[in-house]
Amino acid sequence: MLEARWVTKHYRQGTNIVAAVDRVSIAVREGEIALIIGPSGSGKSTLLSMLGCILQPTSGAVLVAGYDVSGVPERVLPRIRQRCFGFVFQSFHLFPFLTARENVETAMRLQKVPREARRKTAIDLLSDCGLGQRMDFYPASLSGGEKQRVAIARALAADPFILLADEPTASLDSANGEAVLEMLRHLALARGKAVVLASHDPRARHFADSVYNLADGRLNRLR
Ligand SMILES: Nc1ncnc2c1ncn2[C@@H]1O[C@H](COP(=O)(O)OP(=O)(O)OP(=O)(O)O)[C@@H](O)[C@H]1O
Ligand SMILES: [Mg+2]
């Protein structure tokens, strides 16, 4: 479903060029949760951004559903991101002036899903996330764990093939972090999504099918 072949990203830092991600290959199937662990600065977010077509690799290829996106023009990338990917971030990134349900509906609005269908999908997803009683709340009146569950529901709303989550539990205490990982696993498996999760959270290992370690831009499979 998602594959990187020998991807490298170079950044210029002053007069130096550093390889934030160095010749990394990874393949993730549908229904698989791949976890990438590694210390701060090891390149996790850079790798996820390349996998999610947010950042172009310096070299190497990214294949989305078997389709090599390396050569496609920049202007096509937003459409690929919208169609194929759901994104979840550490700091939730919810729209503060929209309710939980409206936040979940936004992704479907971009895809021109009719209003009634949007509403139904949002209600179903939020119920699956245990937020049936919180749908009309604004983000400011939700706990961190609830906000992240809304963000996961939103990421899945447009039915992407792939879910990318960058440190989704880093802002949460351990009970909420665990609930969010549990939810992510349950929803992704039920819907056959390929998931790539970057996290330093050691508990995340229990929720992953494959585990990789990233150190200084080099990726090694641990499990
Ligand atoms: N835009 C940029 N320009 C220059 N260097 C960058 C840029 N973005 C990231 N880097 C460098 O690339 C390396 C990898 O950064 P990245 O953010 O991918 O790490 P990370 O593993 O996600 O770290 P964290 O756990 O802190 O989120 C770091 O050394 C960082 O300083
Ligand atoms: Mg990061």
Name all residues whose Cβ lies below 6 A of ligand 1: 11, 13, 20, 38, 40-46
φ/ψ of residue 164, rounded to 5: -115, 125
Statement: the pTM of the whole predicted model exceeds 0.85: yes
Tell how far the Cα of 109 is from the centroid of ligand 1, in angstroms: 33
Tell how far the Cα of 20 is from the centroid of ligand 1, in angstroms: 7
Tell how far the Cα of 42 is from the centroid of ligand 1, in angstroms: 7
Going by the DSSP 8-state scheme, the letter that residue 134 receives in this structure is -
Q: Which residues are CB-neighbours of 175 under 8 A, at least 6 positions away? A: 145
Q: How many helices (H) and strands (E) does the chain have?
A: 6, 10
For the chain, domain boundaries: 2-221
Can you tell me the distance from the alpha carbon of 31 to that of 162, in angstroms, rounded to the nearest whole number? Answer: 9
Ligand number nearest CA of 40 is 1
Closest ligand 1 atom to Cα of 47: 18
Judge residue 161's burial from the number of C-beta atoms within 10 Å of its C-beta, 0-12 exposed, 13-18 middle, 19 or more buried. Answer: middle
Digits of tens for pLDDT over the chain (223 positions)? 999 999 999 999 999 999 999 999 999 999 999 999 999 999 999 999 999 999 999 999 999 999 999 888 989 999 999 999 999 999 999 999 999 999 999 989 888 899 999 999 999 999 999 999 999 999 999 999 999 999 999 999 999 999 999 999 999 998 999 999 999 999 888 899 999 999 988 889 999 999 999 999 999 999 9
Q: Measured in Å, how far apart are the chain's first and last C-alpha atoms?
A: 19
The first and second tokens of residue 220, run together, are 């090694």
Closest ligand 1 atom to Cα of 49: 18
Report which residue type is found at 98.
L
For 2-221, the fitting CATH number among 3.40.50.1820, 3.30.300.30, 3.40.50.300, 2.40.50.140 is 3.40.50.300
Residue with tokens 């939700």: 142
Judge residue 220's burial from the number of C-beta atoms within 10 Å of its C-beta, 0-12 exposed, 13-18 middle, 19 or more buried. Answer: exposed
pLDDT of amino acid 43: 96
